[in-house]
Each structure stands twice: as structure tokens, then as C-alpha cells.
């Protein structure tokens, strides 16, 4: 999804906030426990993060945000100019992430550089210098080890949720909808559910092989989202104490054992 498409999409929104929002003047990106959060003092239109590494992103952004990623750049667009939720967490990730620089574009189009605090990496360096070898250090080393280069890069959900239009789409639909950029498919509802229906195009257009395939991919996202959540929950190691196994006593007599 390029800038022109994003701008066109923004024009469809009837409740984008354009007043009463303080303009951001500074901010900090923090990386802690494989969570990336943004501490910022105002609204922003776009956030650009330059990085190296190989990561898979778990999208924690609220409605109205769009996230996209290349092999060296993460772009987050705030279409509804909403504040972040979930303790300002942008996304969680698996893999090895090293952010080199980041900046935001304000509501007025001004570019502001953002500070970067990689708490995970600082803790690893500190522990290495003090020669502390405990379970947390070993786990952290494992997280950023080169072996993680085998992780497949991607985003679990790059859809734009919570959109609304009172200007009829191509098929006459008005109301809440969600948009899936890769497939170029609009679906009913604030978020994608099993009850969501395709909109924005004529019914006949969904008979083409390309649109059929894209619609199938969108509908399958509800199943994949649950599978990804389950996988992450299973992947987290749980330390448990295992009671020692009692050996069965074997009594013996002069004649043998019984």
C-alpha cells in the first residue's frame, strides 16, 4: 500500500480527528522483553523505524493503524489519529531486532527524530560484563543469537481495522469496515470475524479467480490468528519442579526376590 492509496483511504473516513490533538515534539522507542513501545507526547501521522535483523511481528496496534514492513524498514500509519493502547506497545516480535534510527511525521507534516532505548540489549551487555551467568542471561542470549536468522519475516495481521464511511462504497455499503491491503479486499465490521462479508466491489467481481483467491486468504485469517496465538503460548517455556521418582523397593530373601 503506497502513500497515494493511504491518502485516498483516509478521505473515506468521516470521523478522523483534526482538532484538539497536541502535536508531538519528542518521543522514545523502547525495546523490552521483545515488546516495542512508543512513548510520545502528542499525536503523529506516521512512524518510520529503520532496523536490521530478521523478525516476525505480532501486531498490537489499535483500530485505525496500518503497519507495513520491508527487510529494513517498518512503517506505521495512524489513519484515525488515535492514541496507542496496551501500555503504548506497537508490536511484539520473535527474532533479532536492532533499531538504528526512527522518526515520526507530525499532523502538520514535520519530521521529528525519535530516541531509541534497547533495554534488552543493555541488560545483556551489563550481565556479560559482570560475568553473571543465570537462566535469564542464557535465555536472552538465545533470543538474540544468530540462529534466529531462520525465523521467517512477516506480520501476523497487517489489516486496517475500525474504519467507517458514510460515503457509499462501490456497492453502496456504508458503515464500519476493515481493509486488507495485500488482498485489496474490504470486509464488513470494525474487525474481521466469521460473520464479515466482502464489500466495496460488485458481486460479479468476486467471481474472478484472482478475487476469489484473495477473498479466501482474507477469510482464512480468522483461523490463522487463533493458531498463531496458540503457538506463541505454547512456545513460552514454563519452569516446573519435577518431584524425584521413588524407586520401587525390592525385598529379597535367601531363596530369591519377591
* One-character DSSP codes across 173-207: --EEEEEETTTTEEEESSS--TT--EESS-GGGGG
Classify the C-alpha dihedral 29-30-36-40 as positive or negative: negative
Q: Which residues pair with 103 in a beta bridge?
A: 48, 113
Residue 203: predicted pLDDT = 83
Residue 198 has pLDDT above 80, yes or no: yes
pLDDT at position 221 is: 85
Asked if 120 contacts 136 with a C-beta cutoff of 8 angstroms, the reply is no
The answer to whether the predicted template modeling score (pTM) of the entire model surpasses 0.75 is no
First to last CA, the chain: 77
Q: How confident is the model at residue 250 (pLDDT cuts 50, 70, 90)?
A: very low
pLDDT score for 129: 56
How far is residue 150's CA from residue 131's CA, in Å, rounded to a whole number? 28
The whole-number pLDDT of residue 237 equals: 37
Label residue 61 by pLDDT band (50, 70, 90): very high
pLDDT above 50: residue 235: no
Residue 30 pLDDT class (50, 70, 90 cuts): very high
DSSP 119: H
Tell me the average pLDDT across 183-204.
Answer: 92
Give the Cα-Cα-Cα angle 139, 140, 144 (nearest 5 degrees).
120
pLDDT at 47 over 90: yes
Q: C-alpha grid cell for residue 115?
A: 530516541
Instruction: Count how many Cα atoms sit within 13 Å of the Cα of residue 42 in the half-sphere of its side chain.
Output: 18
Which pLDDT score, from 0 to 100, does residue 68 have? 95
pLDDT average, residue stretch 145-162: 78
Whole-number Å distance between alpha carbons of 36 and 57: 10
Residue 253 has a pLDDT of 47
Amino acid at each position: 500500500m503506497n502513500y497515494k492509496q493511504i491518502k485516498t483511504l483516509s478521505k473515506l473516513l468521516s470521523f478522523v480527528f483534526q482538532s484538539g490533538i497536541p502535536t508531538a515534539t519528542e518521543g522514545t522507542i523502547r525495546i523490552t522483553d521483545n515488546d516495542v513501545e512508543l512513548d510520545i507526547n502528542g499525536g503523529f501521522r506516521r512512524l518510520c523505524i529503520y532496523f536490521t535483523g530478521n523478525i516476525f511481528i505480532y501486531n498490537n496496534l489499535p483500530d485505525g493503524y496500518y503497519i507495513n514492513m520491508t527487510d529494513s524498514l517498518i512503517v506505521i500509519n495512524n489513519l484515525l489519529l488515535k492514541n496507542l493502547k496496551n501500555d503504548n506497545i506497537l508490536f511484539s516480535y520473535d527474532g533479532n531486532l536492532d533499531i538504528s534510527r526512527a522518526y515520526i511525521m507530525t499532523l502538520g507534516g514535520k519530521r521529528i527524530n525519535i530516541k531509541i532505548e534497547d533495554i534488552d540489549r543493555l541488560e545483556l551487555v551489563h550481565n556479560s560484563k559482570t560475568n553473571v551467568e543465570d537462566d535469564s542471561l542464557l535465555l536472552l542470549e538465545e533470543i538474540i543469537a544468530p540462529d534466529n536468522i531462520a525465523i521467517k519475516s512477516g506480520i501476523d495481521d497487517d489489516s486496517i481495522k475500525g474504519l467507517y464511511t458514510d460515503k457509499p462504497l462501490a456497492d453502496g455499503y456504508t458503515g464500519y469496515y476493515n481493509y486488507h491491503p495485500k488482498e485489496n479486499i474490504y470486509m464488513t465490521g470494525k474487525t474481521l470475524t466469521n460473520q464479515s462479508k466482502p464489500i466495496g466491489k460488485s458481486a460479479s467481481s468476486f467471481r474472478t479467480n484472482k478475487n476469489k483467491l484473495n477473498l479466501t486468504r482474507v477469510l482464512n485469517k480468522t483461523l490463522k490468528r487463533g493458531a498463531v496465538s496458540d503457538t506463541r503460548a505454547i512456545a513460552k517455556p514454563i519452569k516446573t519442579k519435577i518431584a524425584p521418582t521413588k524407586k520401587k523397593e525390592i525385598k529379597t530373601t535367601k531363596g530369591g526376590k519377591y
